[in-house]
Structure 1
Amino acid sequence: MRKTELRKSLLKTRQSLSVTDWKHKSQLICQNLLDSPQFNQAKTILAYFSFRQEPDLGSLFSDSPHRWGFPRCVGQSLSWHLWTHQDTVVTGNYGITEPHADAPTIAPGDVDLILVPCLACDYQGYRLGYGGGYYDRMLSSPEWINKPTIGIVFAFAYLPEIPIDTWDKPLQSVCTEIAT
């Protein structure tokens, strides 16, 4: 199956989750992250605001010892900004929730972990996103290439293999709602 068909199929499956099921699976993912040494050792973590029924990590953001960074789509790149649960957000490009443009930026050298949203991941760590290439470009750039990454995906989209292109880079690990 090509990436386009796989995206369409997985989006349909994900959007068919009931709100109750989506929230439950999201909470299990959050618990698995909280149980992860890699997550607990990180001080500054880049994450995302749930979009189109992606796993919701929102319960991690409040009352947290971590500094959180969230992306803004700027041109063809992601700009990372500090955010706390008291800060307001705006709706940015593609209808995605983002921090305000004037929120402090985060330098790559300050980042300890990146939680990467995935439409799908395979057992080798390759991810399938929405096709815009934002994370592929970022994770391939010299200042980001060695940063620890965890792909966040529901278990139904954690697949033995997905189609990959030459520019695709594997993530270091994957977290689903099923404890590993």
Structure 2
Amino acid sequence: MSEKANLRNLVMDQLEKLSKEDYDARSYELAKQLFQTPEWQAASCVGVTLSRFPEVNTRFILAEAKKTGKTIAIPETIYPSHTMQFRVYEKGDQLIEKKFGLMEPAPTAQLVEAAQIDLLIVPGVAYTEEGHRIGFGGGFYDRYLAAYEGKTVALLFHEQSRHFFPNEKHDVPVQKLLVN
């Protein structure tokens, strides 16, 4: 097993031990940190996943985006190319369950070009202080970030922070990390 795979498993094991109360409280604190950033405040369109445990819970972000009139764009994965694109999401829109139980927009939802997304909230399993990340293993965000020119931020629990792990030449670091 690769060093990345070992680290991914180690961090996921730590996160899965979080209690529901701790998970929700820490996710909420991270969302509050996000709302104070100039990147969030300036964004009119935010790219964000519909999270699932043990990822940082994004429901607080979705609610605040709707309340403040921001457009929410969620990813749609495309196989077999392991690429993704974003589509507009409104609460109550039809969602389709894809691989690994991910909920994604229906292909009928409005497409959002990368240049329209002001702020992309990048999920991952582990991060270095420089913003390098280990994702969930599909390479979707690595491919997307290679051409994305907007602002990026990651929300992470302190268990996900690492001083170092090897990165690869195609890795694009996240610009800002918010940690709880």
TM-score by length of 2: 0.91
Structure 2: gaps spanning 5 or more residues: none
* 8 Å CA contact 1:72, 1:92 repeated in 2: no
Q: Distance in 2 between matches of 1:169 and 1:60?
A: 23
C-alpha distance in 1 between matches for 2:158 and 2:96:
30
- Runs of 5+ consecutive residues of structure 1 not aligned to the other structure: none
Question: Which of 114, 121, 128 is 1:115 aligned to?
Answer: 121
Query: SS of the residue aligned with 2:121?
Result: strand
Per-residue deviation, 1:125:
0.7
Q: Any conservation in 2 of the 1:150–1:173 contact (CA below 8 Å)?
A: yes
Superposed CA RMSD in Å reads: 1.4
Divergent runs of 4+, >6 A: none
- Contact between 2:123 and 2:155, CA under 8 Å: does it hold in 1? yes
Cα offset for 1:42?
A: 0.4
Counterpart-to-counterpart distance in 2, 1:172 and 1:161 = 16
CA contact (8 A) 2:151 2:175 kept: yes
Aligned counterparts of 1:10 and 1:161: Cα–Cα separation in 2: 14
**How far 1:86 moved relative to its partner?**
3.2
Q: Which residue of 1 aligns with 2:131?
A: 125
* Structure 1 residue 163: Cα displacement: 2.1
**Stretch of structure 1 that moved more, 59-68 or 30-39:** 59-68
Q: Percent identity?
A: 22
Q: Does the Cα contact within 8 Å between 1:89 and 1:100 map onto a contact in 2?
A: yes
2:167 pairs with 1:164: yes
Q: Deviations over 1:75-115 (max 9, x none)?
A: 21112100012323221122101111211110112110100
1:150 corresponding residue in structure 2: 153
In structure 1, distance between residues paired with 2:23 and 2:53 = 11
CA contact (8 A) 2:132 2:172 kept: yes
Aligned position for 1:136 = 142
Partner residue, 1:18: 19
Contact 2:34 2:40 in 1 (8 A): yes
CA distance in 2 between counterparts of 1:58 and 1:30 reads 9
Aligned partner of 1:65 in structure 2 is 69
Q: Secondary structure at the match of 2:104?
A: strand
SS in 2 for 1:121: strand
Q: TM-score, normalised by structure 1?
A: 0.91
Aligned to 1:42: 43
Q: For the residues of structure 2 that align with 1:116 and 1:162, how far apart are their CA atoms?
A: 18
Aligned AA for 1:156?
E
Q: Take 2:90 and 2:108, find their aligned partners in 1: how far apart are those partners?
A: 14
Asked whether the 8 Å contact 1:122–1:160 carries over to 2, the reply is yes
Q: What is the total number of aligned residue pairs between the two structures?
A: 174
SS in 2 for 1:84: coil
